[in-house]
Amino acid sequence: MGKEWDIVEVLRHSRHDWLNKLQLIKGNLDLNRIDRAKQVIDEIVIETQHETKLSNLHMPLFAALLLKSNWENPSFKLEYEVMFDPDASKINDLAVTKWTHTFFGSLNQAIEPFQENNLSITIEPQSDGVRFFFDFSGIITNRELIESFLSDKSFDLSIKEFTETELSLELFMPMLKNNSV
């Protein structure tokens, strides 16, 4: 299901990301743009809080997929938000990870590269399962490829909007009947 990452590669990419963020803060401070530097810091804090919530969902495969996504999917930028519910039920981590990985692959092939393509995922745990809201904005050049992927009816999937520049989906993963993952 994609490239296997060793700890050195993960740390190298993570360190690179952090250095970029620090340079952005330093550059804004050097330009005496204190408000912008504070805004960047606030964005980092929010991003880190969502990483923590994602890591605490007990979905290690899915968390790993999202955490390394911006390193593996150069055609779009991924952001995610986790609406944390400590009483949320467990879902099939492998199934949602495979579905999302395949969706990312289809999206990478169906969009115009080197454009401002953004994918936002909102993860909303509930007592009977987890809802995932996927919102893409950018340039979709191969609508048929995405339509073909979305025609799979083995998941509880609802298409909210689908145009040449927008794609909005809702995926519901029910809780596991027994506590197996």
Q: What is the pTM of this model?
A: 0.82
Backbone angles phi, psi at 161, to 5 degrees: -155, 140
pLDDT tens for each residue of the chain, 181 residues long: 566 767 777 777 778 888 888 999 999 999 999 999 999 999 899 888 888 888 888 889 999 999 888 887 778 999 999 987 666 668 899 999 999 999 999 999 999 988 999 999 999 988 888 999 999 999 999 999 999 999 988 888 999 999 999 999 999 999 887 655 4
Answer for the pair 164, 143: CB distance below 8 angstroms, yes or no: yes
Chain-centroid distance of CA 46 in Å reads 15
Helices (H), ranges, the chain: 7-30, 34-55, 60-72, 93-110, 143-150
* Residue 95, in any domain of the structure: yes
CATH number at residue 136: 3.30.565.30
* Residue 2, in any domain of the structure: no
The count of structural domains within the chain is 1
The DSSP bridge pattern shows strands 129-137 and 166-174 to be: antiparallel
* Residue 106, in any domain of the structure: yes
* Residue 146, in any domain of the structure: yes
